[in-house]
Structure formats: structure tokens, C-alpha cells
Structure 1
Amino acid sequence: MWDVEKVLLAEDGTRVLIEAGVFSKLAHYRQYASDSVESGGIIIGEYRGSDLRIVDVSTPGNKDIQRKCFFGRRDHSHQDFAMDYWKRSSGSQSYIGDWHTHPQHTPQPSGLDIIEWQRVLTGSPMLVVILGIQSDWLALWRANKLVYISL
């Protein structure tokens, strides 16, 4: 599904362009096995007017906390990843959202996810992605509210 460039539309009309292959590299983090742990990282992209362009994602680092039903981003590699993109793009590309997995076929955000997004995602709209076993869930986090994205 994620091998080709995609343009997705949020309920508010915001377009989200996802470059080919960006989310494909996350396929092996899906929690297929019963003992799999949650994984996650940050999403790198840029704003184009009111739209978003997604160019890359970070993957779990050694210091991240990974449990069956919890992912905690603690490794400094995510910050380094974002800073590298910011510098190489002269400030146009940077942290634009979060992704993580859930051990569900059809994922939905948990109460803990919502609390974390309220705490961390401020300012411009941010993309939030949950990869499930069979399907994915995407939304924009805008002004402390979810704006759903159709797949």
C-alpha cells in the first residue's frame, strides 16, 4: 500500500502527500507475532501552505521503551534525525508528526495516545499514524482535535 506516492485527504480538506516508500520501511514493525512489541518514531516533512508533504520517518532507537502495548520515544536519535533534515533542507523540513504501532488488526488511538498528543503536539497541524496488523489509522492533530484522514 505504501510503495507508491500517495495523496490523502483529511476531513477538513488538507492534503497529505506521502512520498513513495516512506511508510514501506515500517512494514516489519507491524505486530504480527503475539510477542511483538510496539514500535514508533517521528515523521519528517514540510508544510506547503495548508497541506503537508511527508518525506521520511525515524525508526526505534536502542533507548526507546518498547512493550506489548506501549511505546515511549526516549532515544536521542529521533531528535538527531529531525535536526539533520532541518539543516539539509535549510529549515523547510522537520518534525511534522508521530507514528507508532498497535497490536490490533484495525488500530484506534488509545486514551494514552490522546493524552500524549495533547502534551507533545502543539502549534501547526501534526500527522499522527498508527500502524495496525492489517490496516492503518491516520489523522491530523490540529488545535487539540483529531481531523481524520481517509485511506
Structure 2
Amino acid sequence: MLELKAVNSSFTQSVSIQAQVIKYLSQHRQLHARSLEAGGQLFGVVDPDSIIITCATGPYSKDDRGPRHYRSDAMSAQSEIKQQAKFGNVYLGEWHTHAEKVPRASGHDIDAMRRLMKSSNLATNGLLMVILGQGLDKGGISVYSYMDGKLLHWDIE
């Protein structure tokens, strides 16, 4: 799959997910209902026209993973955030998998984003959340942003 672009009419910026990130995320897809969710952090650059996801990290060996839940190990995630900052990459948000063809954010996902916004020192106004489902087409990836207490869905072009 090539680079993906997501748009939301509430924003002038678009979100681009580079091809190498999609390839990395695809390696962790939940192909079976009993497969464990995987996830991690998203990094990249922000300019006036776009948010570009250039790197994804995780999962980590100490993550809390199950078929229907994922929680990143906080120490591992923070270490990766510091490491990526050395390369000039901004922490943009989180990614994880769902065992469904077309992934949708759950109540748990929304709560996790709310907690992250409260506890994080961010260089951006909000956080992105990318959920990778089982589908291989663009419908198999969902992009959301969380800011001002609201989760917004972005359309893949």
C-alpha cells in the first residue's frame, strides 16, 4: 500500500501516513479473533498544510495485550518518545490493532486518548489515533484525532 492521506473538513491540515509506516503497522494486524492487539506510538513532522506520520514504534515486550485490549507500557513508550525527539520527530499519537475488517474506535479507545491528553506534555494541540483492522484496503485503516475532549474521524482519500 502506498502513502495514505486523511482529511477532515474541520481542519485545513491533512494527515499523511508514509508507506513505510503502513508496512510496519501491517506486520502487526490481528488476523484472528484470538490474536493479541498490538500498538505503539506515532511520530513525524507537522507543517502548516499537513501532519506527516514518518515513524511508528511498538509493540513493546511489557505491554498489556489481549484479544480485545491494548495498553502500551508507559516506561517503554516514554523512552521511545525521548529517543525519537533526538531525531527531530514529534510525538503525534498512538496506533493499535482491532480484530475487525473495518476498525472503529471503542469507548476504551476514547478513554485512553482522554487520559493521554491529560497526562502528556505535547508539542501539538491534540493526538492522533490510527487503528489498523484486518482489511488490506484503505477501509482497513481508521484515523482519528482527539482534542478539546472530542474524538473526530478523518476520511481516507
TM normalised by structure 2 equals 0.83
Q: String of CA shifts for 1:51-107, please: whole Å, max 9, x gaps.
A: 312110112111001101010111533222221121222xxx221110011111111
1:85-100 alignment, distance < 5 Å: 85-89=84-88, 93-100=89-96
In the alignment, the residues of structure 1 paired with residue 33 and residue 145 of structure 2 have an alpha-carbon distance, to the nearest angstrom, of 29
In the alignment, the residues of structure 1 paired with residue 7 and residue 72 of structure 2 have an alpha-carbon distance, to the nearest angstrom, of 28
Name the structure 1 match of 2:153: 148
8 Å CA contact 1:43–1:56 kept in 2: the answer is yes
1:1-150 alignment, distance < 5 Å: 1=1, 4-13=2-11, 14-49=13-48, 51-74=50-73, 76-89=75-88, 93-121=89-117, 124-134=125-135, 135-150=140-155
Amino acid at match of 1:58: T
Q: String of CA shifts for 1:100-130, please: whole Å, max 9, x gaps.
A: 1111111111111111111112561221111
8 Å CA contact 1:7–1:18 kept in 2: the answer is yes
In the alignment, the residues of structure 2 paired with residue 59 and residue 26 of structure 1 have an alpha-carbon distance, to the nearest angstrom, of 9
8 Å CA contact 1:44–1:97 kept in 2: the answer is yes
Q: Which runs of 5+ in 1 are unaligned?
A: none
In the alignment, the residues of structure 2 paired with residue 110 and residue 20 of structure 1 have an alpha-carbon distance, to the nearest angstrom, of 26
- Cα deviation for residue 7 of structure 1 reads 3.0
In the alignment, the residues of structure 2 paired with residue 119 and residue 77 of structure 1 have an alpha-carbon distance, to the nearest angstrom, of 17
Q: String of CA shifts for 1:7-43, please: whole Å, max 9, x gaps.
A: 3212323211222311211112111123201000010
Give RMSD over aligned pairs. Answer: 1.8
Instruction: State the secondary structure of the residue aligned to 1:23.
Output: helix
Runs of 4+ in 1 over 6 A off after TM superposition: none
Amino acid at match of 2:53: I
Q: Which runs of 5+ in 2 are unaligned?
A: none
In the alignment, the residues of structure 2 paired with residue 105 and residue 94 of structure 1 have an alpha-carbon distance, to the nearest angstrom, of 30
8 Å CA contact 2:3–2:22 kept in 1: the answer is no
